[in-house]
Structures are given as structure tokens and as C-alpha cells.
Amino acid sequence: MKIAIGADHAGFAYKEELKNFLTTQGHEVTDFGTFSDISTDYADYAHPVAMAVKEQKADFGILLCGSGNGICMTANKHQGIRAALCWHTEIAVLARQHNNANILCMPARYISVEQAKIMALQFLATEFEGGRHLNRINKIAVC
């Protein structure tokens, strides 16, 4: 599976851990930065990850920042992107099953790196249920 990943300075360390972990799990990971823990703007990484998913250059995206909110809000500005802020495995699974989320956003300051790894694996392994949820998904886009 092709994964686009990005983070600001607050999520940098987790991004590096996840990138290496997902590669060992057989995924192809494209890193859109940041490449250090120096203070930076989350939008600079959310936009390229969202574009990679939108343009189908990646199957899914993973984004991290301190609270997860800023990076998630930014990614969701792109049509066709359904970025979900997740802090628990069950939420990540439901985001895929019920919302067909295509980007997993996580709050690096509020979860452990082990939780992030488990959430990422579960998110990537979970299928969208479709059915009644498809009607709801079709009502998200403004255009």
C-alpha cells in the first residue's frame, strides 16, 4: 500500500517512527516532511499529503501535529479528502468503516508512539462498510 505521511515539528518524532514501522510492514511510504523538530507550520505538510491522496498517488495519508486539529482541518479543505482526527484505535477503525476516511490524523502530544502504530495499522487494514454509510459520505462534499 502507498502511504503519504507528514507532520509539523510536534509530530516529527512520531512521523519518523511511523515511517520506519510502516516500511517494515511492507508499505511504501512517501514522506512530505517536516524533516526536523524546528518549529514549522502544519499546513505546509497537510496540503501535499492531501494532494497525494486526492490525486491517487497514495492510497492513504497519515498526518500528525500536537493536537491533531490543525493538520486535520487543513487536509479537510481538499475536496475528496476525509481526514479523521483519531486518538483511540476504535475511533480509527470507525473512521474507515463508517466515514471512509482516507487520511488518519493523530495528536502526537496526547497519544503514545505505540498507540500511533496500532492505530495506523488498524486504519490501513479496515475496509469501508458502504451501505447506509455511502449515502452519508455522498453528502459531505459542498460542490
Active site residue 65: yes
Q: Dig out the grid coordinates for 14 from the structure.
A: 512520531
- Among 9, 47, 98, 133, which one carries the catalytic annotation? 98
Active site residue 98: yes
- Among 65, 72, 86, 105, which one carries the catalytic annotation? 65
Residues with a catalytic annotation lie at: 65, 98
